[in-house]
């Protein structure tokens, strides 16, 4: 059994843990402001393990993500000088500048679309605070954008889980390594 199949099995077991919703909420909060791993990696297996609770898991993920986004927003408003070195060390400055440019051009709509963007959401939350995007539109756009993404993931996996699980298990190693390679290429491209 390969690395990604073991990781897949571990996450599926964790998804069935009685404290899994708490872990999911913590991961969702952290990802929206400072943590690099998206909550989809936990949400999807949880929805697959308990399809009848998929909507509840999506709601937990959405609410915690928006609260984490508010924390990122506040970091942008009150502490950008503390966050800037982290953005530089993490290689997020180009994405941050792109997000600022998008805010100047499209404002509210940037946050709404950011839920589906390959650029880490935390870059948008901090940038929204730095540029002073109005708080209520920020919250509404975050709820709609993040909610749409997480409900889509949870409900699709819950619906297709039993049908796709054997296929997913059989190809998990290939999917995992392809994701690592694509991520590496994206980081290399962003560094250029």
pLDDT over threshold 80, residue 30: yes
pLDDT higher for 129 or 98?
A: 129
Task: Tell me how many domains the chain contains.
Answer: 1
Burial (Cβ within 10 Å: 0-12, 13-18, ≥19) of residue 7:
middle
How far is Cα 45 from Cα 102, in angstroms, rounded to an integer? 33
pLDDT tens digits, one per residue of 109-136: 878 777 766 567 887 888 888 888 889 9
User: Which value, in Å, is the radius of gyration of the alpha carbons in the chain?
Assistant: 17
Instruction: Sort residue 47 into left (φ over 0), alpha (ψ -120 to 50) or beta.
Output: alpha
pLDDT over threshold 90, residue 67: yes
Q: Model-level pTM greater than 0.85?
A: no
CA distances from 45 to 52, 70, 191 (A): 13, 26, 32
pLDDT over threshold 60, residue 5: yes
Length of the chain in residues, anyone?
Answer: 192
Range list of β-strands (E), the chain: none
Please report which residue ranges of the chain form alpha helices under DSSP H.
3-15, 20-31, 40-49, 54-89, 93-106, 108-114, 121-131, 135-191
pLDDT at 126: 83
pLDDT over threshold 90, residue 9: no
Residues 6+ apart with CB under 8 A from 64: 24, 25, 26, 27, 28, 29, 32, 39
Measured between its terminal Cα atoms, the distance across the chain in Å is 36
Q: Which of 127-136, 145-154, 158-167 is the least confident region?
A: 158-167
Confidence bin at 74 (pLDDT 50/70/90) = very high
Residues 6+ apart with CB under 8 A from 111: 124, 128, 133, 137, 138, 141, 142, 145
Residues spanned by the domain of 160 = 3-191
pLDDT over threshold 80, residue 145: yes
Q: Give how far the C-alpha of residue 38 lies from the chain's centroid of Cα atoms, to the nearest Å.
A: 3
How far is Cα 156 from Cα 162, in angstroms, rounded to an integer? 11
């Amino acid at each position: 059994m390969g690395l990604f199949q073991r990781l897949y099995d571990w996450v599926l077991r964790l998804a069935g843990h009685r404290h899994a919703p708490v872990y999911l909420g913590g991961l969702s909060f952290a990802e929206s402001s400072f943590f690099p791993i998206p909550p989809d990696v936990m949400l999807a297996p949880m929805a697959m393990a308990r399809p009848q609770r998929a909507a509840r898991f999506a709601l937990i993920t959405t609410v915690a993500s928006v609260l984490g986004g508010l924390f990122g927003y506040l970091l942008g408003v009150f502490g950008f000088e503390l966050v800037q070195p982290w953005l530089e060390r993490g290689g997020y400055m180009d994405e941050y500048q792109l997000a600022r440019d998008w805010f100047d051009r499209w404002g509210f709509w940037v946050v709404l679309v950011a839920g589906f963007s390959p650029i880490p959401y935390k870059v948008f939350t901090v940038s929204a605070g730095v540029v002073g995007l109005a708080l209520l539109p920020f919250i509404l756009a975050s709820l709609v954008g993040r909610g749409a993404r997480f409900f889509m993931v949870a409900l699709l996996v819950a619906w297709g889980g039993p049908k796709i699980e054997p296929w997913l298990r059989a190809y998990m190693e290939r999917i995992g390594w392809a994701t690592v390679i694509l991520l590496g290429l994206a980081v290399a491209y962003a560094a250029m």
